[in-house]
Structure 1
Amino acid sequence: MIQKEKVRNLELTAYENFNLECENVTVPLKSYLQETQRLVKVLAGKNLIEKISEFEFRFHMKTLNFVNIYSFQPIVTIKVLPDKKGTVSFESQDFEMIGINYINHNFSLKFQGKLFSQEKNNKIFLQGQAYLTSSLDLPSNLWIIPKSILQKAGDTLLKNILERIRHSLSNELLHDYEHWASLQKK
């Protein structure tokens, strides 16, 4: 009888590409993207945000569920750096998982992203990318679950996080830009 190797480590990845057409661009989108605190509030949505420094913010995310066994709340510190060309870079600095102490010692998380505006065919677009990767040394009670199921559940969890960010961009951020631009004209 052949015994299957137990899955002890799981590598997860998710990627999201953003390309949103912006209508009613009256003030350069690049100027808006320099407003880091405003961006963070819009992207975080209903999450609790703590400002750590001018460019570092701690996000208390919504509670997540992994394979209907573990529930936890990620808290991620992200550095938000705008440059003079109008690109904003996002990079995770550290994280904590509330709810499962095991994860804090056996889990890694990395988030990277960027936003920028681009003109194509006389239209303005908000573009960007986001990458989310993690690695988890699995607790022994998950070793019996086939790797393909764990992989799919983990990748789906990360993809859902990035989809929430894309949703915030396509709805709240463009709406907030229009409000901000109207205030700039006064």
Structure 2
Amino acid sequence: MYTRFNASQSVELAVPEERVPIQHYLRQPRRLVNALVDRSRTEQLSDDCFRLKMRSLQFMMLSIQPTVDMRVWAQPDGTINLESVACEIRGVGYINDRFALNLKGQLCVQQKSSRVTYLKGKADLEVEVELPPPFWLTPKPILEATGNGLLKSVLLSVKQRLMHQLLLDYRRWASSETGIISSDIPQILSVEG
């Protein structure tokens, strides 16, 4: 029985003004990947492709650990695009052979006034999987609600890490680029989800 799960997450956050604009920082996809996922769980495959080893996830009585190959590239205006290009589920061969993951995301810079810059982004995650026979007796609405909830929690976790890590890393990077050290902690002005 094939089942499809979906989730979307958006984010908008204010970027504190630094001497080096955030667009320059975002032209380095590796920095964004490090803000999204702990460095110990990433491997750079090429200039714009990264392998992300996700934490184990619990879906009903299954424990799965996805490994996602993600293409991350910057456009000249500083917009970052993310797209999954491959996925492997470790530990459950049956699921791995019948599993498709599609993740697309974008993070762009918006100048709302001469002094306020925002990062605005959205990620869409879809999983299609043929569940093993024991799940066939579970009502489809329960499976879908559980799967959609799991994907939403994954995206929410990524969003929270992005909101905290990206701005902190940008602040450190801008200070090192200009030789200025600031003790201010970046403030997040607005978030939507």
TM over 0.5: yes
Out of 150, 155, 158, the residue aligned to residue 157 of structure 1 is 150
1:167 aligns with 2:163: no
Structure 1 runs (4+) greater than 4 angstroms displaced: none
Please give the residue correspondences for 1:138-157 in structure 2 after superposition, counting only pairs within 5 Å. Answer: 138-157=131-150
Given that 1:47 and 1:62 are in contact with CA atoms closer than 8 Å, whether structure 2 keeps it comes out as no
Structure 1 runs not aligned, ≥5 long: 1-7
Secondary structure, counterpart of 1:143 in structure 2: helix
1:95 aligned counterpart, secondary structure: strand
Q: Give the structure 2 partner of residue 110 of structure 1.
A: 102
Q: Does the 8 Å contact 2:17/2:116 carry over to 1?
A: no
Once the 2 structures are TM-superposed, how far is the Cα of residue 46 of structure 1 from its aligned partner?
5.6
Is this contact kept in 2: 1:24–1:178, CA < 8 A? no
Residue 90 (structure 1) aligns with: 82
Q: Letter of the aligned partner of 1:143 in structure 2?
A: W
The aligned counterpart of 2:66 is 74
Q: Give the match for residue 36 of structure 1.
A: 29
State the alpha-carbon separation in 2 of the partners of residues 102 and 40 from structure 1: 29
Distance across 2 between alignment mates of 1:116 and 1:25 = 17
The aligned residue for residue 171 of structure 2 is 178
Alignment of 1:4-83 (within 5 A): 8-45=1-38, 48-67=41-60, 69-83=61-75
Matched residue SS, 2:137: coil
Shift of 1:28: 0.9
**Identity across aligned pairs (percent)?**
34
Shift of 1:45: 2.4
Return closer, same or farther for 1:47/1:72 CA change in 2, 3 Å cut-off. Answer: farther
From 110, 114, 129, the equivalent of 2:122 is 129
TM-score by length of 1: 0.92
Give CA-to-partner distance per residue, 1:123-173, whole Å, 9 cap, x none.
Answer: 111111101001111211001111111101100111111111111111011
Where structure 2 has 5 or more consecutive residues not aligned to the other structure, the ranges are 180-193
Query: 1:63 & 1:55 partners in 2: Cα distance?
Result: 25
CA distance in 2, matches of 1:15, 1:57: 21
Separation (CA, whole Å) in 2 of partners of 1:173 and 1:79: 18
- The aligned counterpart of 1:5 is none
Matched residue type, 2:53: H
Q: Tell me which amino acid in the other structure corresponds to 1:96.
A: E
CA RMSD of aligned residues (A): 1.2
TM-score under structure 2 normalisation? 0.89
Residue by residue over 1:24-73, the C-alpha shift from the partner in whole angstroms, topping out at 9 and shown as x without a partner, is 33321111101111221121126511110011000011000101x10011
- In 2, the alpha carbon distance for the partners of 1:46 and 1:130 equals 21
